Amino acid sequence: MKMRRWLVSGLLVAGCLLSWLAPAIRQQAGGEGLGGFAAFRKARLELPERYESICPGTVGDIINTWGVSPAELEGLGLVAGRPAKNGTEGEDSNSLAAEGKNLAESRLTKVRYFDLDGDGIRERYSLRDGIIKAEVGSRLIWESPASWWVDYFFLGDANNDGWQELNLLVWKEGSFGPQQPFWVEGEDRSIKNHLFIFKLEEGEIKPVWQSSNLDRPNLRAALIDGNGDGKKELLALEGSYTDSGKFQLTLWEWNGWGFSRLR
């Protein structure tokens, strides 16, 4: 009888302990439901603010705004008059690692005025505390969902279709949106980074293209014409989900349905 009473008591204690630990276990693994994202957002809000006054569109802008050196862009062939060196792609220099760490450990505040739909009226795009807003005059036309954390935005023709777009680097829970591919039976519910592209049409912000989980989180991205062909390439400053000190610059081009990596 004493043994049975002791066993029941032990099981009850173990059950209570597992119930208490479960939220912490889910949070450490990336989180499920709003609890995991709420913790992610709270941690982001505790980071110091960082201000950016422009959307980089040239190599010079990128050097000044992101803090990377010309040598770090040389490996991608983006420094005029300097050929790309073999073996530099993907290597993390000390300055890139230092500046990448600074960018990763801050939350961006940014305001840009831009005529996205070409109607002659500039809209106001403002990012603060992970939420981006699009306004025309005093009228709010769009705001990012509370279930997203927008790290960064940049403006320009990302898919080279002749229309300017609003491009977002977004942290959210789950690899896909409300609808997922038919061949996917389950979904990774961890919080990962995505690239979302939107357009402004008839006064409404509408989705153009939305990636699933990126293999590496993007801290910053910019559109530049690296080869002078009149089309924009996507330059990304990538971090790592598992190594907080690992960063690299990569260059991508639109292939009709997504982005393919160059060089």
- The position carrying tokens 């490996």 is 75
Q: For residue range 74-94, what is the model confidence (pLDDT) as tens digits?
A: 888 886 544 444 444 444 457
Q: For residue range 128-182, what is the model confidence (pLDDT) as tens digits?
A: 999 999 999 999 999 999 999 999 999 999 999 999 999 999 999 987 554 555 4
Dump strand ranges (E) for the chain: 49-51, 107-114, 123-128, 131-136, 139-143, 148-156, 165-173, 191-201, 204-210, 218-224, 233-238, 248-254, 259-261
Would the CA dihedral through 32, 205, 114, 61 be positive or negative?
positive
Q: What is the pLDDT of residue 130?
A: 98
| pTM metric for this prediction | 0.80
Q: What is the pLDDT of residue 97?
A: 86
Residue 109 β-bridge partners: 51
CB 176 within 8 A of CB 187: yes
- The position carrying tokens 């960064």 is 152
Phi then psi for 21, rounded to 5 degrees?
-80, -25
Q: What is the pLDDT of residue 8?
A: 39
Q: What is the pLDDT of residue 64?
A: 86
Residue 58 corresponds to which tokens in the numbers above?
Answer: 């040239």
User: What is the C-alpha to C-alpha distance for residues 78 and 72, in angstroms, rounded to an integer?
Assistant: 9
Q: What is the pLDDT of residue 74?
A: 83
Q: What is the identity of the amino acid at 238?
A: E
Q: What is the identity of the amino acid at 186?
A: G
CB 69 within 8 A of CB 95: yes
Q: At what angle do helices 33-45 and 2-28 cross, to 10 degrees?
A: 50
Low-confidence spans in the chain with pLDDT less than 50: 1-34, 81-92, 178, 182
What order do you get walking across the sheet with 259-261 strand by strand? 218-224, 233-238, 248-254, 259-261
Q: What is the pLDDT of residue 211?
A: 94
Indicate the SS3 state at residue 109: strand
User: What is the C-alpha to C-alpha distance for residues 208 and 197, in angstroms, rounded to an integer?
Assistant: 5
Q: What is the pLDDT of residue 153?
A: 97
**Length in residues, the chain:** 263
